[in-house]
């Protein structure tokens, strides 16, 4: 199939159709402005930062990317109090032109409650209207470069290219050696999102003050009753995690300014933070009780926050502590990080609930529901000491599925149930699986099996460099190499996909942005199968999921662009 190059049918600032927007140009323009904001922030030129932020938030490219983000994420079908969603290309393009500062007034949030991880309490969640989400996404494009430049080095939550695995690896670095700190302050901030001082945010967050104040004072509706908001930033807002991070940034620098005056630090104070959860290490209990904790409490009080007395405690490394679903503890002087008991129990409770509620579900559908659940939990813990735990969890999963199968056939014997639901695959017996029809290549039935959690490889995570900034051009090659290695690991054993990915220079031909494990991908056929196309590499392109939808909508030929970012 031939056709014009995808995405160049119209200039991005004169686009007449949503699918005609030149996304590569939009990303390039926004990226250029973000890099300039980083440079101005590093030079301390606050006035220039403000001017560049104004340019970005008033640009077509910034507005288009903001609308794209809120209409192609998981909450795209969830409306706010006005009940409006932008589900059509026409409504999305109209939304781009509607994002204006003058006359903008955010609507109250729609308040819902979701259960917390422990299942005993409910977490308040505020859902903004689509236009408010898009405005937040737009201003976040301008605020995030400043936040990343000024962030604490060992802050890992809700930040670009950082993860919980980085925080756990930093725990190993700070606690693993014999001469490392042996006491840990486990800090818990009471209702962090709900109690941040509005006055502090308006005074210290480098963005449009009027817009920020309108968001903070928008209030929320619950059971058709309006409630004013005098403090906090709503959980559910796109910009809220960044505001929370910027509120807590500076805590590490404050501690290091006192305790790291010399190369040899006898206090051994280190902070590791993931969003509002953090730990602080110390050489002695007295250092943490008499010096560190008062400094933390004073820092938080300036921002309207406080530590939770019941959940904040000081622990010895030999007793161990839980952090981000992991248990960190020394056994005979050797530090081992394992999945926490609560995390295991929570996962198995959720899985058993899914299986129990699927008594009438077909086996293949049940496997497709369980596989992402099992694989996701296993991948999260695949960089710690988890091999034995994976085997134990695998056995618990087998027991759960065996009970599910026996309940479906109470009048059948165990051997009959085994032959119907379990297979022998290579050297593995009792593999939960079923056939799902014939494959096009061999004409033989395809066997769909449950993911074997015990086969998950354990690989040490390579921690991100603490000072790396994804918006700084100086770090661009570092992040490309890092994301490329992660992507290559995820494609191990899939030679054709690796060859295709490398042939595209690891980038999506539509938007020219890098294809990574976190971004995901879809395969696009240049010539459709219905028109005689094949699965040969020459007929395939690897696209981002959103770009894949755009390409299918237009059915344009997706060719390599004539320029590169």
pLDDT in tens, 167-211: 999 999 999 999 999 999 999 999 899 899 999 999 999 999 999
pLDDT in tens, 270-300: 999 999 999 999 999 999 999 999 999 999 9
299 CB burial (10 A radius; 0-12, 13-18, 19+): middle
Q: Quick check: 556 pLDDT over 60?
A: no
From CA 451, how far away is CA 549, in angstroms rounded? 28
Q: Are strands 445-449 and 522-525 parallel, antiparallel or unpaired?
A: unpaired
Window from 156-160, 240-244, 348-352, 492-496 with minimum mean pLDDT: 492-496
Among residues 435, 436, 432, the alpha carbon closest in space to that of 454 is found at: 432
Beta bridge partners of 273: 155, 278
What's the mean per-residue pLDDT of the chain? 89
Measured CA distances, 94 to 16, 87, 89, 99 (Å): 10, 12, 9, 9
Measured CA distances, 219 to 81, 108, 127, 216 (Å): 12, 5, 11, 7
**CA within 13 Å, CB half, 378:** 22
Measured CA distances, 446 to 63, 424, 441 (Å): 46, 14, 11
Q: Quick check: 379 pLDDT over 50?
A: yes
From CA 417, how far away is CA 408, in angstroms rounded? 9
Beta bridge partners of 425: 428
At residue 110, the 3 state secondary structure works out as strand
pLDDT in tens, 85-128: 998 989 999 999 999 999 999 999 999 888 876 666 788 888 99
């Amino acid at each position: 199939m031939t056709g014009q190059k995808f995405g160049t049918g119209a200039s991005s600032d004169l686009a007449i159709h949503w699918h005609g927007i030149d996304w590569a140009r939009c990303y390039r323009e926004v990226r250029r402005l973000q890099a300039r904001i980083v440079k101005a922030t590093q030079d301390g030129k606050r006035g220039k930062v403000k001017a560049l932020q104004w340019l970005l938030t008033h640009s077509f490219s910034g507005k288009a990317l903001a609308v794209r983000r809120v209409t192609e994420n998981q909450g795209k079908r969830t409306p706010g109090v006005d009940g409006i969603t932008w589900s059509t290309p026409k409504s999305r393009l109209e939304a781009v032109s509607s994002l204006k500062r003058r006359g903008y007034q955010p609507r109250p949030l729609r308040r819902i409650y979701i259960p917390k991880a422990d299942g005993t309490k409910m977490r308040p969640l505020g859902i903004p209207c689509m236009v408010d989400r898009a405005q937040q996404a737009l201003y976040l494009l301008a605020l995030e470069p400043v936040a990343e430049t000024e962030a604490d080095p060992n802050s890992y939550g809700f930040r670009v290219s950082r993860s919980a695995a980085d925080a756990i690896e930093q725990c190993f670095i700070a606690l693993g050696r014999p001469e490392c700190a042996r006491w840990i302050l486990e800090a818990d901030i009471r209702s962090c999102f709900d109690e941040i001082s509005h006055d502090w945010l308006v005074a210290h967050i480098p963005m449009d003050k009027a817009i920020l104040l309108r968001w903070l004072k928008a209030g929320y509706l619950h059971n058709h009753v309006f409630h004013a908001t005098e403090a906090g930033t709503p959980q559910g807002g796109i910009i809220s995690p960044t505001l929370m991070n910027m509120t807590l940034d500076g805590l590490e620098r404050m501690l290091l300014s006192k305790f790291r005056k010399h190369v040899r630090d006898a206090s051994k104070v280190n902070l590791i933070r993931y969003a509002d959860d953090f730990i602080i290490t110390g050489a002695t209990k007295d250092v943490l009780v008499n010096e560190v904790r008062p400094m933390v409490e004073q820092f938080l009080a300036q921002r309207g926050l406080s530590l939770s007395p019941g959940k904040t405690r000081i622990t010895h490394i030999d007793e161990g502590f839980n952090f981000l679903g992991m248990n960190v503890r020394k056994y005979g002087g050797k530090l081992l990080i394992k999945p926490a008991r609560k995390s295991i129990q929570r996962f198995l409770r959720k899985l058993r609930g899914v299986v129990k509620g699927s008594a009438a579900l077909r086996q293949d559908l049940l496997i497709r529901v369980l596989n992402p659940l099992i694989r996701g939990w296993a991948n999260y813990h695949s960089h710690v000491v988890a091999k034995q735990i994976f085997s134990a969890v695998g056995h618990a999963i087998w027991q759960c599925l065996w009970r599910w199968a026996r309940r479906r056939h109470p009048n059948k014997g165990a051997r009959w149930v085994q032959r119907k639901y379990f297979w022998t695959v290579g050297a593995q017996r009792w593999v939960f699986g079923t056939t799902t029809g014939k494959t096009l290549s061999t004409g033989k039935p395809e066997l769909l099996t449950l993911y074997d959690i015990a086969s998950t490889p354990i690989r040490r995570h390579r921690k991100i460099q603490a000072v790396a900034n994804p918006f700084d051009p100086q770090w661009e090659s570092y992040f490309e190499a890092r994301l490329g290695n992660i992507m290559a690991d995820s494609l191990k054993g899939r030679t054709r996909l690796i060859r295709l990915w490398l042939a595209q220079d690891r980038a999506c031909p539509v938007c020219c942005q890098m294809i990574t494990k976190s971004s995901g991908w879809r395969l696009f056929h240049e010539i459709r199968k219905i028109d005689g196309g094949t699965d040969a590499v020459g007929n395939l392109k690897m696209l981002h999921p959103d770009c894949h939808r755009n390409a299918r909508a237009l059915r344009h030929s997706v060719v390599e662009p004539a320029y590169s970012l």
